[in-house]
Amino acid sequence: AQKITQTQPGMFVQEKEAVTLDCTYDTSDPSYGLFWYKQPSSGEMIFLIYQGSYDQQNATEGRYSLNFQKARKSANLVISASQLGDSAMYFCAMRDETGNQFYFGTGTSLTVIP
Amino acid sequence: EAGVAQSPRYKIIEKRQSVAFWCNPISGHATLYWYQQILGQGPKLLIQFQNNGVVDDSQLPKDRFSAERLKGVDSTLKIQPAKLEDSAVYLCASSFRLARNEQFFGPGTRLTVL
């Protein structure tokens, strides 16, 4: 069963604008973790942001913020003030309760337009 | 701080041949992961080590794939014999075994099976 769903295969955003990348997840665990990674064309996965299932506040890391809606099981990534270097694949991922399993979505390709 | 090292970066083999990939995690990271990323998909976790012990290998096709981390530091992933569908990027990641389990990824090995 699909654990992580990313419904946007490709997104475009104008430089300096904000963009939201969607992610929904499926779990019955009370405790889990949600991650966003960036994968540039070079191939290396870069950690961006983490949200724990019990965290009361939405996570923020610089220009990245995670819009966590637990009841809807969504964990959307918001990138503010987009830069050309933000063009990449973005993957949403989930860690299960045991910490032994990690599930990645199929990714969203983001292109920042000058 | 040095990142996760992987070698080789690229490998081309014929089907039924054997291949091995090497990974050296970030110093002090007890947990090491191997992922398979098929083109157009998100990474799929194959195996997770905690020090030199296997935490989870439920997604590893054990009839042809094997992995070891004998001294709890570097690790090798082997495929024997390779099939066409094994063509993928093999990513190694490491982390501190903390609640967050934020993973740091290496550059990956791109395998092409002809």
The answer to whether B15 and B86 have CB atoms below 8 angstroms apart is no
Distance from CA of A102 to the nearest CA of B (A): 7
**pLDDT for B14-30, tens place per residue?**
999 999 999 999 998 99
* Residue B72: per-residue pLDDT: 83
**pLDDT for B59-87, tens place per residue?**
999 999 999 998 889 999 999 999 999 99
Is there a contact between B42 and A95 if contact means CB atoms under 8 Å apart? no
* Residue B89: per-residue pLDDT: 97
* Residue A43: per-residue pLDDT: 87
Is there a contact between B100 and A44 if contact means CB atoms under 8 Å apart? no
Residue of A nearest to B31 (CA): A100
The answer, yes or no, to whether residue B99 has pLDDT greater than 80, is no
The answer, yes or no, to whether residue A84 has pLDDT greater than 70, is yes
Token duo for residue B56: 């989870």
Residue with tokens 């973790």: A33
Query: Which of B101, B105, B107 minimises the CB distance to A33?
Result: B101
**In chain B, what is the straight-line distance between the N-terminal and C-terminal CA atoms, in Å?**
37
Is there a contact between A4 and B99 if contact means CB atoms under 8 Å apart? no
Long-range contacts from A106-109, C-beta under 8 angstroms, 24+ separation:
A106/A6, A106/A9, A106/B40, A106/B41, A106/B42, A107/A6, A107/A9, A107/A39, A107/B41, A107/B42, A108/A6, A108/A8, A108/A9, A108/A10, A108/A11, A108/A21, A108/A22, A109/A9, A109/A10, A109/A11
Average pLDDT of A50-73? 95
Query: Which of B48, B97, B105 minimises the CB distance to A45?
Result: B105
Residue with tokens 């966003």: A36
* Residue B64: per-residue pLDDT: 97
What does the CA dihedral B69, B70, B76, B77 come to, rounded to 10 degrees? -70
* Residue A42: per-residue pLDDT: 87
How distant, in Å, are the alpha carbons of A18, B55, B108 from that of B25?
35, 16, 12
* Higher local confidence (pLDDT), B61 or A97: B61
Does residue B78 sit at the A interface (CB-CB below 8 Å)? no
Distance from CA of A31 to the nearest CA of B (A): 10
Distance from CA of B14 to the nearest CA of A (A): 23
Is there a contact between B40 and A44 if contact means CB atoms under 8 Å apart? no
